[in-house]
Structure 1
Amino acid sequence: MTFVERPLWNFDHHGSRYAQNWEDLVRELHAMDFPLAWSEANGGYWILGAWAEAKKALEDWEAFSADNDVKHERRGGKGSRIPQHSYPLMLSESDPPFHTARRRIEMPFFTPKALREYGPMIDRFMDEALKGIRAKEEADMLRDVILPITARATFHLVGYRESWSEVAYSVHLVSHTKETDPGYPIEMIQRIQAGFRTMVAERRAEPKDDIASALAQGEVLGQPLSFEEAESMMTALVFGGFDTTTASVINALIWLQDRPEIRRQLLDDPKLLDNAIEEWLRVWPPAQGIGRTVMRDMEIGGRQLRAGERIFIWFAGANRDPAKFPDPETVQLDRPKASDHLAFSGGGHRCLGAPLAKIELRTMIRAVLTRMPDYRIDLDRVTRFPTYGAVAGYLEVPMRPGAIS
């Protein structure tokens, strides 16, 4: 077989160019003979934007490892983050059988029955947030309304009872910085992780009905979950649990701002709102991709991939693959199979929190449209993350609340 030369491409998902022009980059990749290219950034890695091949890769852990084998004890995987982080996230950066056993501990908290309380809870949180801005001419949609709600829901799930705000805004900072960046809040992260370890010790003595207790009491392959594993899994839940949902709500509210007729349709038709949420996630995935390690030599789209190379499975690129989604840049609220998007990843690592995220999106969007119908986001002053390494999120979303019911 004749292989295409490794196509070099100016791409760095941590860079400012990416944050400012990722939609243009999607077009560039899909204009190539096949949407798979090589970047020299971050130690070198492939970028895969073909939906079908991305889905297959996410489902094939033996060929595309998520394991962050920092100590070189297993197959040498370099984790889900590019560049590789010095500490592994024990659930998201592991392969079977460890990943399967660890995931099973958390699964009961994401069933429809377990999540039944979250819609009413989010409505209560929304009521508190709107009371806080009722008298204000200007507020921030992110900091005053959406982020506090998603953060509090995540902390309730985990069982974290300390002040949520300090942790939430530290997570917010981590979402757009690399471990090697000067401003990376490593000391704050270490304090948070120490607090999680304390929680696990407390739950071993006095378990409650929360994920912290399940991790404290859990077993993996016949052995008690270690403090390191439990703390890492809590860190992953908290650090990945709300900035993504926050960004998705803001994306939807910006798009809906000047579409009053569509707002009415969504409020009248819950099924259309559910499909709209899938479509917004497809067009603007908050987590834009995930890293894997290629574990064997293979060919994809005429390119030769070698064992040990990194590959970035680009959700944003795959979600706009015209071979899967016709007219991919257009938001079509009634698009058939909009839920085939990869915004929540795929395979065994598909986001456990996806059902909760959809409840949050549905509840918060309905609440804003019904209780704050005159909101006006100042689009000229909206500030996005300077880089999108982990989340395509926002720093500031100034708005005028208008009348609040």
Structure 2
Amino acid sequence: MSIEIKTPRVERHFDHHSREFASNYSNELNEMAADFPVAYTPAWNGFWMLAGFEEVNAAADNWPVFSSAHDGIEGDPFVSRDLANLPEPLPFQRRGVSIPFSKLGTGVRFVPSECDPPMHTDIRRLEVPFFTPKAVRGHDEEVRRLVTEALDSVIETGSVELIMEFALQITTKVTIGIIGFDKADWLDFALAVHEMGARPGSQEAGRRVVETRKKLAALVAERAKEPKNDVASALLAGSIQGTPVSEAEAATILNGLTFAATDTTTSTLAHMMIYLSVNPTHRQRLIDDPTLIPNAIEEILRYNSPFFGTSRTVMNDIELGGQKLKAGDAVMLGFAPGNRDPRKFEEPETIKFDRANAKDHLAFGAGPHRCLGAPLARLELRIMIEEILKRIPDFHIATDDIVPYADKSFNGFESVRTTFTPGKRVSTS
């Protein structure tokens, strides 16, 4: 990979969607964070890559300058609200949170991820009550039951495909239940999320997302007539900047929630399992002392961030990391490389389950857009790992049974096949 240093701009030719990047992923992250905390790449019409921990945090916190908004999406129900928040027309277009936006697949804005305060603040306010630590603790028994059922369905066979047969099934059921769906509807949503991660921008990903949006619109229409204790009903009962949330807006918000809360947690579980499979000493430590599991989860999130990063549009000229960014520039906030920054994490290329500052990672993002569902993800991961180590402690994952996503913008897996000594079912249902 060629590197060119100009004055005053540092350039590093880099494409996070390329197979070259995917084939050397971990080394690339280490190099970016250590040597190129802020650099420009000509890929995808040019953008700034922020790879340093401090630089990523600074941009994430400074939302007035680094905008998440996305303009010009046909049929976007939030367009009028966006225009009302702009004092005057912009001389450039805000690009949302993906470079390029088409890689997300559908021409649909992801809300509230692609909104700025105050609109973003009001939308989060409506969702937050369902994802507070207290609210999430109320799902402990439900998650454990779902994990038990999933393990029971495979434990006598001695084999499980970790993604569709286990983790994605559990995370999707929990998420759509909170939204307002029956858990039996999980498969269509899981397939849509999985296809977007595996083949972002593909026709199949777009088709599946369109189908799930139809289901979301139907749910919202039902809740408009008969509210219940779920996110869909809470959105319809709420307002954004003093104006009631429309059905189209509620469906769009729910679409963003569906895709944010499932595959990322699933990928993290798979990364943990793969690591423990080839590091039996660390596996035994967690078996002997389950209290180590929460910090081990944070360290896996740091080292194997499920999401590479998220983009912003520069609203005003600014200097960051010694580089001059101009209004209208596209910027990628690299959560994954930021988690390998040696200025923040000692020996960042090494997984340490006892790392004191592991929880400082950027895997859940940073600033006002930090992941709303982090408490739920932590709960799901802890319970899944606890039950796996308890019921199938000798699991093994062969290298040939790991099929990662080809595009490393999502650090997940097509499939991960796991084998273990068959056991007995414990559920009577």
Residue deviations 1:368-392 (CA, integer Å, cap 9, x gap) = 0011112111222210001123x21
Contact 1:81 1:290 in 2 (8 A): yes
Q: Relative to structure 2, which stretch is displaced further, 362-371 or 268-277?
A: 268-277
Distance in 2 between residues matched to 1:232 and 1:343, nearest whole Å:
24
Residue deviations 1:149-206 (CA, integer Å, cap 9, x gap) = 1111111111122621122112101113333x4x443232222112111111111111
What is the one-letter code of the residue matched to 1:122?
Answer: V
Residue deviations 1:28-47 (CA, integer Å, cap 9, x gap) = 32453x42122222221111
Distance in 2 between residues matched to 1:348 and 1:272, nearest whole Å:
29
Contact 1:281 1:343 in 2 (8 A): yes
1:401 to 420, 423, 427: 420
Give 1:138's aligned residue.
159
1:171 counterpart = 2:174: no
1:84 counterpart = 2:101: yes
2:138 to 114, 117, 125: 117
1:333 counterpart = 2:350: no
Alignment of 1:342-361 (within 5 A): 342-361=362-381
Contact 1:178 1:184 in 2 (8 A): no
Contact 1:141 1:397 in 2 (8 A): yes
What is the one-letter code of the residue matched to 2:137?
Answer: R
With over 3 angstroms needed to count, the CA separation of the structure-2 counterparts of 1:81 and 1:403, relative to structure 1, is: same
Contact 1:70 1:87 in 2 (8 A): no
Contact 1:275 1:334 in 2 (8 A): yes
The Cα of 1:271 is off from its aligned counterpart by: 4.2
1:244 counterpart = 2:264: yes
Give 2:29's aligned residue.
26
1:13 counterpart = 2:33: no
DSSP-derived class of the 1:113 partner? helix
With over 3 angstroms needed to count, the CA separation of the structure-2 counterparts of 1:186 and 1:260, relative to structure 1, is: closer
The Cα of 1:9 is off from its aligned counterpart by: 2.3
* Length-normalised TM-score, structure 2: 0.88
Contact 2:33 2:338 in 1 (8 A): no
**Unmatched tracts of structure 2, length 5 or more:** 1-5, 74-78, 425-429
With over 3 angstroms needed to count, the CA separation of the structure-2 counterparts of 1:50 and 1:31, relative to structure 1, is: closer
The Cα of 1:316 is off from its aligned counterpart by: 1.0
The Cα of 1:138 is off from its aligned counterpart by: 3.2
The Cα of 1:303 is off from its aligned counterpart by: 1.6
DSSP-derived class of the 1:139 partner? strand
Contact 1:4 1:302 in 2 (8 A): no
Distance in 2 between residues matched to 1:28 and 1:258, nearest whole Å:
25
What is the one-letter code of the residue matched to 1:95?
Answer: D
Give 2:76's aligned residue.
none
What is the one-letter code of the residue matched to 1:82?
Answer: I
DSSP-derived class of the 2:163 partner? helix
Distance in 1 between residues matched to 2:222 and 2:240, nearest whole Å:
20
The Cα of 1:228 is off from its aligned counterpart by: 2.6
* Root-mean-square deviation over aligned CA pairs: 1.9
1:193 counterpart = 2:213: yes
Alignment of 1:275-290 (within 5 A): 275-290=295-310
What is the one-letter code of the residue matched to 1:29?
Answer: M
The Cα of 1:333 is off from its aligned counterpart by: 1.1
Contact 1:176 1:388 in 2 (8 A): no
Contact 1:374 1:402 in 2 (8 A): yes
List structure 1 runs of 4+ shifted beyond 6 angstroms. Answer: none
1:4 counterpart = 2:7: yes
Distance in 2 between residues matched to 1:337 and 1:137, nearest whole Å:
37
Give 2:283's aligned residue.
263
Distance in 2 between residues matched to 1:31 and 1:105, nearest whole Å:
39
Give 1:68's aligned residue.
70
1:93 counterpart = 2:114: yes
With over 3 angstroms needed to count, the CA separation of the structure-2 counterparts of 1:230 and 1:16, relative to structure 1, is: same
Residue deviations 1:238-281 (CA, integer Å, cap 9, x gap) = 11111000000011111112434433432444542211111111
Contact 2:158 2:422 in 1 (8 A): no
Distance in 2 between residues matched to 1:4 and 1:346, nearest whole Å:
30
The Cα of 1:51 is off from its aligned counterpart by: 0.5
The Cα of 1:358 is off from its aligned counterpart by: 0.2
1:45 to 44, 47, 68: 47
The Cα of 1:12 is off from its aligned counterpart by: 1.5
The Cα of 1:141 is off from its aligned counterpart by: 1.9
What is the one-letter code of the residue matched to 2:108?
Answer: Y
**Number of equivalenced pairs:** 400
What is the one-letter code of the residue matched to 2:171?
Answer: T
Distance in 2 between residues matched to 1:103 and 1:375, nearest whole Å:
39
Distance in 1 between residues matched to 2:292 and 2:150, nearest whole Å:
27
Give 1:315's aligned residue.
335
Q: Percent identity over the alignment?
A: 38
Give 2:224's aligned residue.
204
Distance in 1 between residues matched to 2:385 and 2:366, nearest whole Å:
25
Give 1:231's aligned residue.
251
Contact 1:19 1:392 in 2 (8 A): no
Q: Relative to structure 2, which stretch is displaced further, 23-32 or 278-287?
A: 23-32
